[in-house]
């Protein structure tokens, strides 16, 4: 089970700060999150950046998620 | 990654490929392109900081014989609100459309209202006075604290605070709220022996790039329109314009000119869509260029902030809790860099309990734009000032205090993931061992030290390397070169191919000649586009080995590649790159390598700066007498450029700390819109900025690169303000530490 930690923006929609999800890749993980949290939309998720086991991945659609991995949703950083 | 590897080209101080054109005046910048039949565009700007537009009458201007087109917001198609990630974060298209030309309200002094294209620049300027506008003038709101009050005049009737548990029913100037937490700050403060709590503020500041915004465009109703402009990201300019003008991407080519400074501010558009609409209406190419006055009044500055920070520690120097409220002025439309500010404020520290709350607030000033590590200098200024005060109260050396609490590999950040290998401790040790830190201060002098953190980013980059028959190559990239990246691309390609840098020409291609590349920003280019260059060069090497194998009629496994030479391991025969390319027509045609990547694994960068100042206590004037910038580069591809980035960031930060600020009248008119009154540091103001390059490699990059462009602007604000505080014996929490403010602080204290 991967541990998913939500940003403060997403916590307003999920009602909790983290959850354990059984998914082997990011696409399945998002699908499971959308099933669990009705207030959560795909758009809200896609505008966030994601870190899987500490590595920030801008667009992780095809990323594998380790079984004991940690997935953080974060504010997307651009820069100057 | 190869930490101990010896490189032939990486780490050398090669001659910059664009240097000759720049010093001889041959380089073409934003205002340098003229086209046959071209006319000039000028913008009519608001005389009010906040007003409703009741009516615009352009009939007299349209009737003028020299005027060829007039446009207002009503000429643009309606666009719906929607996000686009660029510069400091998400850009809302509806807001952007209302920023390039005001709709029913003007929201800051200088806000663009209408544009005219005429046969000459002077005619366009003169014709602006023929446009008649009926305003209903409203009370402006300039200060963040005032704008946050429930009874403040509203900029937008349809702006409701995002990020609250309950959707508000009343509109507000607070666009959004953000909260980050870790551990239990109440318990952390309860465990503290000493607590520091203080307010801080930073002013609205400009990036101070030397080249004003400028563009030349040609609308083509049948074929492909062209936009030439000074930008950090021409692909994103294409995307924005195509949305604002409802054009197909394929109908628009954007060419990035040479750029005379951007620092984040040239990641959005101001003139370009207006010029293209003028060209569409007039049927002629149109050139537009801002004056310096317009750059100050109407392009996006860095956000002003008001912050409150509280930090507690035990007597032995262990920080037990860190807490902050960070309020950012977004300007006329939502979207300040409050998010990254909240995420970076306390990241240099490995502390169990943290809480940060941020607010994005609209005020009647130009819409804020990205400015080098957007949001971080303001947030980390407040945090570092409080850390220095706490170290002082505890009687602990500020470097030792930071070393005791420093973030390192495995530190849980407040914004999410644990840090990988980072170089803060190495930077602090370098500061402790620096000659400056061991030097005694003279009378009226003070010393300050501060740390800084920036994420750095990756993202999409595309590169093609085309080899020529003489064995030279062209590196075609899509990343505008704002800080010397062409040199680093040349060096990384040379290292991979094994040929001299002089045999490789880096070129920044337009949007038709290379696939999408993300905007140059976030300190991403040497990291991400560099990875694409390495991958494209490896593709070239793979093909050159195949061609050599074909020449010798052997398998590719029998080919060894080193120093730009293919060796037949069986016979010992050799073929150089030039040999293989010369006969490429006989082995399958010319050789091109390609890479299109979405780079990941960006390595965060930490910096530590030391500042010594001397204050004239009769005038309040501060002079910087010695300054050392220390930063982790991961691996410095071109050390001179890396040092230049450290020095440039330090100087911009020193200006922010000592003198720079937008000065407004009560009715919201900027009173110092020029470099005479908006005082950026000159070379004669400063000593040589000493630099120390720390190299803790980023394991996700083949050569260990971290970004270096942004972190260097973060520490100076607190390093300088702490040094001034040390010199005068009064804590300076409000920037800038300008002579009147310093003098008042001295007089108040005495």
> Hey, where are the domains in chain A?
2-74
**What gap in Å lies between CA B210 and CA B437, rounded to an integer?**
34
Structure tokens at B32: 């340098």
**What gap in Å lies between CA B167 and CA B156, rounded to an integer?**
17
Task: State the pLDDT confidence band at A43, using cuts at 50, 70 and 90.
Answer: confident
Contact B519 A74 (CB under 8 A): no
Rg of chain B in Å (alpha carbons) = 27
What confidence score (pLDDT) does residue B172 get?
98
CA–CA distances in Å: residue B639 to residues B339, B507, B646, B652: 32, 21, 10, 20
Per-residue DSSP letters for B231-280?
-S-HHHHHHHHHHHTT--GGGEEEEE---S--TTGGGS-SSHHHHHHHHH
Task: State the pLDDT confidence band at A75, using cuts at 50, 70 and 90.
Answer: confident
Per-residue DSSP letters for B551-609?
HHTS-GGGEEEETTEEEETTT--EEEHHHHHHTGGGTTS--EEEEEEEE--PPPEEEEE
**What gap in Å lies between CA B727 and CA A28, rounded to an integer?**
59
What confidence score (pLDDT) does residue B742 get?
98
Residue of B nearest to A4 (CA): B416
> Minimal CA–CA distance to B492: which of B503, B501, B483?
B501
Chain B partners within 8 Å of A80 (Cβ): 87-88, 262-265, 267, 370-374, 521-522, 710
What confidence score (pLDDT) does residue A48 get?
85
Q: Kindly list the structural domains of chain B, giving each domain's residue range(s) and its CATH number in brackets, ordered by start.
A: 19-26+458-599 (3.30.365.10), 39-138+207-298 (3.90.1170.50), 305-450+604-749 (3.30.365.10)
What confidence score (pLDDT) does residue A8 get?
82
Contact A80 B598 (CB under 8 A): no
B664 Cα to chain A: minimum distance (Å):
25
Task: Give the distance, in angstroms, between the CA of residue B377 and the centroid of all CA atoms in the same chain.
Answer: 12
Structure tokens at A33: 């999150």
**What gap in Å lies between CA B706 and CA B712, rounded to an integer?**
13
Beta bridge partners of B559: B568
- Higher local confidence (pLDDT), B699 or A75: B699
Map residue B285 onto helix, strand or coil: coil
Which of A53, A57, A75 minimises the CB distance to B339?
A75
Q: Which residue has the tokens 């780490």?
A: B11
Looking at this predicted complex, what is its ipTM? 0.93
Structure tokens at B87: 């510069």
Rg of chain A in Å (alpha carbons) = 12
**What gap in Å lies between CA B400 and CA B136, rounded to an integer?**
59
**What gap in Å lies between CA B615 and CA B619, rounded to an integer?**
8
Structure tokens at B410: 């495995």
- Whether chain B has a CB inside 8 Å of the CB on A77: the answer is yes
- Higher local confidence (pLDDT), A80 or B681: B681
Contact B83 A47 (CB under 8 A): yes
Provide φ and ψ at B233, rounded to 5°.
-155, 90
**What gap in Å lies between CA B693 and CA B745, rounded to an integer?**
36
**What gap in Å lies between CA B296 and CA B569, rounded to an integer?**
64
Whole-model pTM over 0.90: yes
What confidence score (pLDDT) does residue B706 get?
97
What confidence score (pLDDT) does residue A56 get?
85
Contact B456 A7 (CB under 8 A): no
Per-residue DSSP letters for B637-688?
SSHHHHHHHHHHHHHHHHHHHHT----B-TTS-BS--STTTS-PPPGGGSPP
Annotation: CATH topology of A2-74: Ubiquitin-like (UB roll) (3.10.20)
Residue of A nearest to B458 (CA): A58
> Minimal CA–CA distance to B264: which of B98, B175, B375, B380?
B375
Contact A79 B521 (CB under 8 A): yes
Residues B656, B184 contacting (CB under 8 angstroms)? no
- Whether chain B has a CB inside 8 Å of the CB on A9: the answer is yes
CA angle B463, B468, B471 (to 5 degrees): 105
Cβ neighbours of residue B83 under 8 Å, at least 6 residues apart? Answer: A47, B90, B91, B92
Residues B302, B206 contacting (CB under 8 angstroms)? yes
Q: Identify the segments of chain B with pLDDT beneath 70.
A: 1-5, 83-90
Residue B169: count other Cβ atoms within 10 Å of its Cβ. 6
Residues B721, B441 contacting (CB under 8 angstroms)? no
A70 Cα to chain B: minimum distance (Å):
8
**What gap in Å lies between CA B32 and CA B21, rounded to an integer?**
13
What confidence score (pLDDT) does residue B89 get?
55
Task: Give the number of A-B residue pairs with CB atoms closer than 8 Å.
Answer: 108
Per-residue DSSP letters for B316-351?
TS-EEEEEEEEEEEEESSS--THHHHHHHTTTTB--
Structure tokens at B557: 């496994």
- Whether chain A has a CB inside 8 Å of the CB on B700: the answer is yes
């Amino acid at each position: 089970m991967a541990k998913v930690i939500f940003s403060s923006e997403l916590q307003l929609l999920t009602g909790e700060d983290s959850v354990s999800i059984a998914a082997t890749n990011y696409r399945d993980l998002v699908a499971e999150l959308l099933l669990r949290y009705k207030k959560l939309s795909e758009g809200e998720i896609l505008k966030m950046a994601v870190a899987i086991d500490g590595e920030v991945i801008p667009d992780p659609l095809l990323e594998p998620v380790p079984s004991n991995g940690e997935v953080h949703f974060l504010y997307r950083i651009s820069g100057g | 990654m190869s930490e101990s590897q010896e490189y032939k080209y990486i780490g050398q101080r090669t001659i910059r490929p664009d240097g000759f054109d720049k010093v001889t005046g041959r380089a073409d910048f934003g205002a340098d392109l003229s086209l046959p039949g071209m006319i000039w565009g000028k913008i009519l700007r608001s005389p009010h900081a906040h007003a409703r537009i009741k009516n615009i009458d352009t009939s007299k201007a349209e009737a003028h014989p020299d005027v060829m087109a007039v446009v207002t917001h009503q000429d643009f198609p309606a666009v719906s609100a929607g996000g686009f990630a660029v510069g400091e974060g998400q850009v809302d298209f509806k807001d952007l459309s209302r920023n390039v030309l005001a709709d029913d309200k003007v929201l800051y002094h200088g806000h663009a209202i209408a544009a005219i294209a005429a046969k000459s620049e002077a005619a366009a300027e003169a014709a602006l006075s023929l446009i008649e506008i009926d305003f209903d003038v409203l009370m402006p709101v300039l200060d963040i604290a005032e704008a946050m009050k429930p009874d403040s005049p509203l900029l937008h009737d349809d702006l409701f605070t995002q990020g609250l548990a309950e959707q508000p029913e009343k509109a507000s100037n607070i666009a959004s709220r953000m909260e980050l937490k870790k551990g239990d700050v109440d318990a952390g403060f309860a465990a503290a022996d000493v607590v520091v709590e203080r307010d801080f503020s930073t002013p609205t500041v400009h990036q101070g790039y030397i080249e004003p915004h400028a563009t030349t465009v040609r609308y083509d109703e049948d074929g492909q329109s062209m936009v030439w402009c000074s930008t950090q990201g021409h692909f994103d300019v294409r995307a924005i314009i195509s949305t604002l003008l409802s054009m197909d991407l394929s109908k628009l080519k954007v060419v990035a000119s040479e750029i005379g400074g951007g620092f984040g501010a040239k990641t959005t558009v101001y003139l370009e869509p207006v010029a293209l609409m003028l060209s569409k209406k007039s049927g002629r190419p149109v050139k537009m260029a801002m004056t310096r006055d317009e750059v100050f009044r109407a392009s996006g500055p860095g956000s002003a902030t008001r912050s409150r920070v509280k930090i507690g520690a035990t007597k032995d120097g262990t920080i037990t809790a860190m807490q902050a409220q960070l309020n950012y002025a977004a300007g006329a439309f939502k979207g300040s860099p409050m998010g990254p500010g909240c995420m970076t404020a306390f990241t240099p520290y490995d502390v169990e309990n943290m809480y940060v709350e941020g607010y994005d607030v609209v005020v009647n000033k130009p819409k804020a734009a990205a400015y080098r590590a957007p949001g971080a200098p303001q947030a980390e200024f407040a945090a570092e000032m409080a850390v220095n005060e706490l170290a002082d109260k505890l009687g602990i050396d500020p470097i030792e205090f930071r070393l005791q609490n420093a973030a390192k590999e495995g530190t849980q950040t407040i914004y999410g993931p644990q840090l990988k290998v980072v170089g803060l401790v190495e930077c602090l040790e370098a500061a402790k061992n620096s000659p400056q830190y061991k030097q005694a201060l003279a009378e009226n002098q003070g010393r300050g030290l501060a740390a800084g953190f920036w994420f750095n980013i990756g993202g999409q980059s595309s590169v093609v390397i085309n080899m020529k028959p003489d064995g030279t190559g062209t590196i075609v990239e899509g990343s505008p070169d704002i800080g010397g990246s062409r040199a680093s691309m040349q060096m990384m390609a040379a290292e991979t191919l094994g040929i001299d840098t002089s045999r490789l020409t880096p070129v920044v291609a337009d949007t038709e000649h290379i696939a999408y590349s993300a905007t140059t920003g976030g300190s991403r280019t040497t990291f991400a586009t560099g990875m694409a260059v390495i991958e494209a060069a490896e593709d070239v090497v793979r093909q050159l080995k195949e061609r050599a194998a074909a020449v010798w009629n052997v398998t590719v496994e029998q080919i060894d590649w080193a120093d730009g030479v293919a060796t037949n391991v069986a016979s010992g025969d050799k073929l150089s790159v030039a040999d293989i390319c010369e006969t490429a027509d006989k082995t399958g045609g010319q050789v091109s390598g390609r890479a299109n990547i979405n780079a990941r694994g960006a390595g965060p960068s930490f910096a530590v700066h030391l500042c010594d100042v001397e204050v004239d206590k009769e005038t309040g004037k501060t002079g910087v007498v010695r300054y050392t910038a220390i930063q982790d580069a991961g691996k410095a591809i071109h050390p001179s450029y890396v040092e230049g980035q450290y020095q440039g960031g330090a100087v911009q930060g020193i200006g922010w700390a000592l003198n720079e600020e937008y000065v407004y009248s009560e009715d919201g008119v900027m009173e110092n819109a020029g470099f005479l009154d908006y005082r950026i540091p000159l070379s004669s103001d400063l000593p040589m900025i000493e630099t120390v390059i720390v190299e803790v490699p980023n394991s996700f990059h083949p050569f260990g690169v971290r970004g270096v462009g942004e972190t260097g602007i973060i520490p100076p604000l607190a390093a300088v303000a702490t040094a001034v505080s040390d010199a005068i014996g009064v804590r300076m929490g409000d920037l800038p530490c300008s002579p009147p403010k310093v003098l008042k602080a001295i007089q108040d204290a005495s």
